[in-house]
Structure 1
Amino acid sequence: MNDPRPEADARTRRTNHVVALLGMALVWILLWGTFSWANLLGGLAVAAFILVALPLPPVVFGGRLRPVALARFVAIFVRDLVVASVQVTWLAVRVGHTPHSAILAVRLRVDTDLNLTLTAEALSLVPGSLIVEVDRAAGVLYIHVLDIHDRAEAERFRLDVLALEARIVAAVGSPAEVARIRTERSGP
């Protein structure tokens, strides 16, 4: 009897390597800021070198890509990016106002490496918030937030982070992760 798992595992590893190769090449192109065939080939070469010379443990994507939820995530993320940019610009040019900041700890509901990374990256890309530390074991993000005045604003920001996590999980999470978010959102 032949076990189909080794072949499936090899196929999964190849698929993961191809996805990682293409993802790193995309990041390379984004870092250069323009698409060209030279940037694409250079990105593929750098990505191949990284995958061969610096092998990492496999990161298995157990989720599903949901296009509608992904489009919703992107739309809200772009809106948040624009709103936060205007707010930070206003803080920078406003005379006589000293913004207060805070470092908030937010425990995510889904503590997978992928969710922690995607949520942290999305938060760091929005002006006015920056990830200071990640407690991977506990699933906690420590976030520096600009212009927080009281506990109510801190709690609103914490809820915004959890809403961001929910949008990410809805876009790329596994069915179990989506169910976990829905269960914890509805309460006990």
Structure 2
Amino acid sequence: MTPLKLAVVVGSTREGRVGDRVARWFIDEAGRHDDLTITVVDLNEYDFPASYPAEPTASIRAFVSEVGRAEAFVVVTPEYNHSFPAPLKQAIDYAYDEWQAKPVGFVSYGCRSTGLHAVDQLRTVFTALHAMTVRDVVGLDLLAGEPTPLCTDELRRDIRALLDQLRWWGLALRNGRAARPYVS
């Protein structure tokens, strides 16, 4: 079977962010599964215009193309003021059809809430885009410190549950899109 194309979207662009390190940690754990092809889509690598909507630039087209190639997503997001970062919303809005009929999972981080307020709001956004969000989330409390390769058994179980759900939905939706194009 062809491996599922999983895009890990790093949703923070702030200077001094930890999102890139959280994404690397998740990818190290997820990379142990040979039925996934993992691509990193780091929003810091794209130059999005300050206003929306905007004429599609080369950078916007590159981002949309990455989203279009992927068959499933993990969005790595911090929680800022009970929500997710504005650059992440802007990036999500530049793609539309490319998100449709694909599963989205979340790795969130914050303080005590572990970023779950951001995930709740992102679920609403992705539902409006006709994407399927999976139930389980990997949530990190950064007050406990950044994750390491020696992550706890509980976090490994969370990752396994997230990846199991993404694989199931990703393969089911891949087959569905192949049998009949999704129409919204």
TM-score (ref. length: structure 1): 0.25
Larger Rg belongs to: 1
| Higher share of residues assigned strand | 2
Flag the structure with higher helix content.
Answer: 1
TM-score by length of 2: 0.25
